[in-house]
Structure 1
Amino acid sequence: MSDSLVAGGTRFARTVGRYVNHDDVLVRFASLWVVVAAAFTVAWVGSYAFLPQRLLRGGNPGATADYAGSVASEFLRLFAWNVGVTLVAIAANTFRSVNTPLGYVLLVVQAPGYGAIWGTGSLAVGTGARIAPSLSVLVARSGPLEITAIVAVVVATRGVMVWHQASGPRWREEFERVRSPREWSLTRREWVVLAVGYLLLAVANYREATAIARIAG
């Protein structure tokens, strides 16, 4: 039984890996979005059910920051912060383990933390009440759009590899420099996805800025 579970898990991981690393950027986007959304949702539901309210508020910089004073200033602050997050993810993409850029790993690792912030009511906007899992909340909040935007940026820049780890075990093998940044190139589709990602990020941050302004008065 255990051997069959391991074999099934290995096949599943390979299938996921094939899609998130697909040559078509749209296939990569859809596949990684599903993985990130699943990690976010599981953490959201689990933290809502089992973790104390406002548990992560002190560890969420946005939850303790003062209002910037206007919608425009708040938007610029939020957008600058999240552009910084995308740049960190792009920098992580310069490292590739076998076939997977580390920017992907960064997103999948961060998604449960953001889901837990929702489930424990540790968001910057609101009263600190837990956010009950529902589809209507996903539409009303800017967070899902922000996550979608960052996924788009990360999959569009998958090709910016510099260091490569050719084989496992991943915790032992060293990364070797195999490419120069001068060799980086994006396809036309990747440029479009990248631009759309940053546009969605701006829209999400503007929605969040207006929500913060309404609460701050």
Structure 2
Amino acid sequence: MNQLVHKVVECKLCLSSQQRMDEQAKQHQHVVSDLQNQLETLKIEKCVANSRSVHSESLNDPCRGSELVTMYRELKTQIWGETKEKMTKLRFEQKQKDRTKELIKEIFEKGKKDVLLKRQEKDRMLKQISGIPNTVQENISPYIQSSMDNLKMFFFLHFQDIKNTSDFKTFVKEEYQCPHEVLHELYVHCYFVSRLMELHDPPIELCWDSPGVDVFPDLLGMNVSH
């Protein structure tokens, strides 16, 4: 009888010890997560500070480099963090989570290709007018040169309109054949931020090949100019 009581007490002590270890592990995870978020914030703030101190920016330009960096930061930390929580609550399978990560990169890569095609089209137009009189070139060239800025403002205003109305579903349905609803806001942000970053002069690049990249990589330096 005494031996049985002793074993029960030992089991309770072991269970209590395990519970304390689990609680400590959770606390450590929170600490690590907080430190990672702080590190990410410092990286972004340093990037923004460098862009402002080394290069002049037009404060009237809503698509200036520092603002785009802030947009990317919001996407990488807030939007992605909220999306991960939703996926966890809905018990997404690992296959679904992996596909989401793949699609994020695909959206950014497609954004880069789309903008590259627009730049090539602009260059072709400039080449086409190279043979006409200089006076005519001077009248036409500014309109062609401004086409990229106009495209950038189109994306920016469209992005703001979707965010203001929270109508992510309509846009995503047209672009991505309507994936799960909890991913809509994430995909909309990826679509527009990728294109706005690529339309910046010079483009704001991402370090996709950096070791340890999970979903959203660091920025490949900032070189903001106007």
TM-score > 0.5 by shorter chain: no
Q: How does the TM-score come out when normalised to structure 2?
A: 0.27
Q: How does the TM-score come out when normalised to structure 1?
A: 0.28
More helix by share: 2
Larger Cα-atom Rg: 2
